[in-house]
A and B are shown apart, each in its own frame.
Chain A
Amino acid sequence: MVGIVGYGAYIPRNRIKVEEIAKVWGADAPSYKRGLMLREKSVPSPDQDTITMSVEAAKSAIKRAGIDPREIGAVYVGSESHPYAVKPSGTIVAEAIGATPDCHCADFEFACKAGSEGMFVAMGLVKAGEIDYGMGIGADTSQGAPGDALEYSASAGAAAFIFGKKNVVAESQFTHSWMTDTPDFWRREHQFYPSHGGRFTGEPAYFRTINGCAKALLEKSKMKPSDFAFAVFHQPNGKFPMTVGKQLGFTEEQMNQGWLCPTLGNTYSGASPIGLTAILDIAKPGDKIFMVSYGSGAGSDGFIFEVTDRIKEVQNKAVHTRAMLDSDNRRYLDYGTYTKFRGKIKLRGE
């Protein structure tokens, strides 16, 4: 049996509301909230980045796995906001959690599905017998250009998963990847903000790709939507995952627990992985979970997990995802502070 042996998430405490952003740009907040099904989003503090959030999530994953970090044979960090263009995020993360030096390490980038790619590869190496434990992380401090529709959703967060063969809490039963060359969203070297194809990011990109992957996964597994207790999809806004889930035959009840976007925003590489952590926080033994990520460019990784009896032992060993999302410790930023935190204000000499 190969599967998840430990998991953890991290969500920064800062938030900004849709109204606060809309006010600055003279935009109609109610229509954005309605159209995106989104009320607020998380914002990293100035000293937080993909690496620090990855470390936080990884530490929780290790607590739940109950293993010596030196047993982790691979650390993969998936992100589109790696702090360095040249120099891995993964080395810092692996060092910080104590997984070095006998460890394979790589950074992944595939827009919003870089996190699930890391999970996919780490799990594959465990299954192949190359390593005992492998860690896949999805983390981002995403940027949206000021005034762009993306600015209302681009947020920050991380999720980490340790895969292994012993003490599994969620067995991986089936996987499927589906991709085409569909350039709906991109950021070229030296560009600060991403570009996107507007409405092209919807039907021909997100919906086509997730539907393609999900249908292939259902066919491969010979399962149907009603077989699952939970489903989670990439969530660039609140509306898309609910729409694609319903297109596939899933219900709101199955999707609600992993549907974090309305108050979290789009954590890009962290989006569906963080949703998965929220599901694992409350899942019961025997529950089946359906997950499909999405990355622009474009592709999806699909997973089917079945929760084991051990889940109950680990759920409370680290902070629950929704406890961070709904925490009383949330700090609401004004737009000025937000722009400072996000590095949108260019200082003299920069």
Chain B
Amino acid sequence: MRDVAVIGVGMNKWGELWEAAIRDLLAESVLLALDDAGIDSVEAMYIGCMSSGLFTHQEHLGSIGPDYSGICPIPGMRVESACASGGAAFRAAYIHVASGMADIVMAAGVEKMTDVDGGGATFALATAADQEYEVYNGVTFPGLYAMMANHHMHKYGTTRDQLSQVAVKNHLNGSKNPLAQFRMKVTPDQVKNSVMVADPLTLLDCSPITDGSAAVILCSMDKAKELTRKRLVKIIGSGHASDTIQLAQREDISSLKSTNMAAKQALEMAGRKISDINFAEVHDCFTIAEIMVIEALGIAPQGKGGKATADGITAIDGKFPVNASGGLKSKGHPVGATGVAQIAEIVKQVRGEADEGRQVKKADIGLAQNMGGSGASSVVHILEGM
């Protein structure tokens, strides 16, 4: 395996983009990433997308991506792992370059979610859960994470206010991100008193429905040194693990085994400990998810994720900043794009190019954690500035 760097990143403004089709979204970020890298094509493209079929009735993104980006006839391939599709696409692109099969490969991610109504989106997202045993019984994703939250609160004493603090922190960071969907700051009371979705999760505990895309360009290190004058950002760790798709089959629903396993793999590959990492972008699809993820990564001890958040450990100026981008909560969650956007954020931070007010002070090594379903798949990457 040879060394691989990320030499270009692109992300469009996320939100309810009524005038943009999935092809427009995809092409916009692809072109931004090509521009950032200073190149006009790549040798292959992986596209993370959870459910373009259900959301837009359009499959075959392996053609749409290169076609509407104007870079045919390069090979394109869609990668799907529910909400971890973007992270999985990035890993596939990484393996492609690291193997020596190609020098320059793009990982893009996209989701166009507003072509269906709320019921349609809830149905599409619920296909990431077990259709026969979970969805059949009426469970949707807020319901699954609410069960996880209730168990976490019961077992570890995690509080309503600690959940709120995740949203407060991420909206504060997102308020400084011009590409974020919801840039308003929120207070703990607003989070607690917003409309109940699935007890204890309120509307402001949940990530939104978003149209958006992101793209990053991976390049062999030798070639990268020729191509870019920007700070080289090397992929030093990659991990990927699964867990039972059913929450009911897990030994413990208040911890995320797949995230823990993927993180162990990535850290071992990088030869680092979690304490060596400066900051992270994690999958806060619900506030409880961020609390459980920072525990699974080892940023906080098991059961102490809520307290760590409330203590400011994960704030932008804390000991271990988490979701400086605003996270899924504020930035938005176009599911297939999320994992790729996390990588784009890590690269921006490591290059020192993050927006004013949310640049992490020491940002040499960053970690991205992307998760599918209720933690049934997880992808973790660690990137270091050279």
> Which A residues have a C-beta under 8 Å from some C-beta of B?
28, 31, 197-200, 203-204
Is B16's beta carbon under 8 Å from chain A? yes
| A203 adjacent to B196 (CB under 8 Å) | no
| A28 adjacent to B18 (CB under 8 Å) | no
Is B118's beta carbon under 8 Å from chain A? yes
Task: Give the distance in Å from the alpha carbon of A197 to the alpha carbon of B196 in the complex.
Answer: 23
| B195 adjacent to A197 (CB under 8 Å) | no
Tell me the minimal C-beta distance from B186 to chain A in angstroms. 16
Q: Which residues, 266 to 305 on B, are CB-close (under 8 Å) to A?
A: none
Tell me the minimal C-beta distance from A36 to chain B in angstroms. 13
Q: Name the 3 nearest CB pairs between A and B, nearest first.
A: A204-B18, A198-B117, A31-B195
| B16 adjacent to A203 (CB under 8 Å) | yes
> Which B residues have a C-beta under 8 Å from some C-beta of A?
16, 18-19, 114, 117-118, 195-196
Q: Give 11 A-B pairs besides A31-B195, A199-B16, A203-B18 with Cβ atoms closer than 8 angstroms.
A: A28-B195, A197-B117, A198-B117, A198-B118, A199-B114, A199-B118, A200-B18, A200-B114, A203-B16, A204-B18, A204-B19
Which chain B residues lie closer than 8 Å to A199 at the CB level?
A: 16, 114, 117-118
Task: Give the distance in Å from the alpha carbon of A199 to the alpha carbon of B117 in the complex.
Answer: 8
| A28 adjacent to B196 (CB under 8 Å) | yes
Task: Give the distance in Å from the alpha carbon of A31 to the alpha carbon of B18 in the complex.
Answer: 26
Task: Give the distance in Å from the alpha carbon of A305 to the alpha carbon of B217 in the complex.
Answer: 59
Find the residue from B16, B18, B114 having the highest chain A CB count within 10 A.
B18
Tell me the number of A-to-B contacts counted with CB atoms below 8 Å.
Answer: 17
Which chain A residues lie closer than 8 Å to B118 at the CB level?
A: 198-199
Which chain A residues lie closer than 8 Å to B114 at the CB level?
A: 199-200
Which chain B residues lie closer than 8 Å to A200 at the CB level?
A: 18, 114, 117
Which chain A residues lie closer than 8 Å to B16 at the CB level?
A: 199, 203
Which chain A residues lie closer than 8 Å to B18 at the CB level?
A: 200, 203-204
Find the residue from A28, A200, A203 having the highest chain B CB count within 10 A.
A200
Tell me the minimal C-beta distance from A59 to chain B in angstroms. 41
Tell me the minimal C-beta distance from A152 to chain B in angstroms. 14
Q: Closest residue to B195 on the A side, CB-wise?
A: A31
Q: Closest residue to B117 on the A side, CB-wise?
A: A198
Which chain A residues lie closer than 8 Å to B19 at the CB level?
A: 204
Tell me the minimal C-beta distance from B212 to chain A in angstroms. 16
Task: Give the distance in Å from the alpha carbon of A239 to the alpha carbon of B195 in the complex.
Answer: 18
Which chain B residues lie closer than 8 Å to A197 at the CB level?
A: 117
Which chain A residues lie closer than 8 Å to B196 at the CB level?
A: 28
Which chain B residues lie closer than 8 Å to A198 at the CB level?
A: 117-118
Tell me the minimal C-beta distance from A184 to chain B in angstroms. 10
Task: Give the distance in Å from the alpha carbon of A140 to the alpha carbon of B323 in the complex.
Answer: 50
Which chain B residues lie closer than 8 Å to A28 at the CB level?
A: 195-196
Task: Give the distance in Å from the alpha carbon of A198 to the alpha carbon of B117 in the complex.
Answer: 6
Tell me the minimal C-beta distance from B24 to chain A in angstroms. 15
Q: Closest residue to B209 on the A side, CB-wise?
A: A199
Task: Give the distance in Å from the alpha carbon of A204 to the alpha carbon of B19 in the complex.
Answer: 8
Task: Give the distance in Å from the alpha carbon of A293 to the alpha carbon of B134 in the complex.
Answer: 46
Task: Give the distance in Å from the alpha carbon of A82 to the alpha carbon of B114 in the complex.
Answer: 32
Task: Give the distance in Å from the alpha carbon of A197 to the alpha carbon of B18 in the complex.
Answer: 12
Task: Give the distance in Å from the alpha carbon of A2 to the alpha carbon of B118 in the complex.
Answer: 47
Tell me the minimal C-beta distance from B73 to chain A in angstroms. 35
Which chain B residues lie closer than 8 Å to A204 at the CB level?
A: 18-19
Q: Closest residue to B115 on the A side, CB-wise?
A: A200
Query: Can you give 8 contacting A-B residue pairs, CB < 8 Å?
Result: A31-B195, A198-B117, A199-B16, A199-B114, A200-B114, A203-B16, A204-B18, A204-B19
Task: Give the distance in Å from the alpha carbon of A200 to the alpha carbon of B118 in the complex.
Answer: 10
Task: Give the distance in Å from the alpha carbon of A204 to the alpha carbon of B117 in the complex.
Answer: 14
Task: Give the distance in Å from the alpha carbon of A303 to the alpha carbon of B118 in the complex.
Answer: 35
Q: Closest residue to A198 on the B side, CB-wise?
A: B117
Tell me the minimal C-beta distance from A323 to chain B in angstroms. 36
Tell me the minimal C-beta distance from A27 to chain B in angstroms. 9
Which chain A residues lie closer than 8 Å to B195 at the CB level?
A: 28, 31
Task: Give the distance in Å from the alpha carbon of A199 to the alpha carbon of B113 in the complex.
Answer: 12
Q: Closest residue to B19 on the A side, CB-wise?
A: A204
Tell me the minimal C-beta distance from B311 to chain A in angstroms. 32
Q: Closest residue to A197 on the B side, CB-wise?
A: B117
Tell me the minimal C-beta distance from A75 to chain B in angstroms. 38
Q: Closest residue to A28 on the B side, CB-wise?
A: B195
Q: Closest residue to B118 on the A side, CB-wise?
A: A198
Q: Closest residue to A32 on the B side, CB-wise?
A: B195
Task: Give the distance in Å from the alpha carbon of A159 to the alpha carbon of B114 in the complex.
Answer: 36
Task: Give the distance in Å from the alpha carbon of A199 to the alpha carbon of B114 in the complex.
Answer: 8
Task: Give the distance in Å from the alpha carbon of A203 to the alpha carbon of B18 in the complex.
Answer: 8
Q: Closest residue to A31 on the B side, CB-wise?
A: B195
Task: Give the distance in Å from the alpha carbon of A204 to the alpha carbon of B18 in the complex.
Answer: 7
Q: Closest residue to A205 on the B side, CB-wise?
A: B18
Task: Give the distance in Å from the alpha carbon of A28 to the alpha carbon of B117 in the complex.
Answer: 20
Which chain B residues lie closer than 8 Å to A203 at the CB level?
A: 16, 18
Which chain A residues lie closer than 8 Å to B117 at the CB level?
A: 197-200
Tell me the minimal C-beta distance from A196 to chain B in angstroms. 8
Task: Give the distance in Å from the alpha carbon of A199 to the alpha carbon of B196 in the complex.
Answer: 19
Q: Closest residue to B116 on the A side, CB-wise?
A: A198
Task: Give the distance in Å from the alpha carbon of A203 to the alpha carbon of B16 in the complex.
Answer: 9
Tell me the minimal C-beta distance from B195 to chain A in angstroms. 5
Q: Closest residue to A195 on the B side, CB-wise?
A: B117
Task: Give the distance in Å from the alpha carbon of A198 to the alpha carbon of B115 in the complex.
Answer: 10
Q: Closest residue to B120 on the A side, CB-wise?
A: A198
Task: Give the distance in Å from the alpha carbon of A31 to the alpha carbon of B202 in the complex.
Answer: 12
Q: Closest residue to B194 on the A side, CB-wise?
A: A31
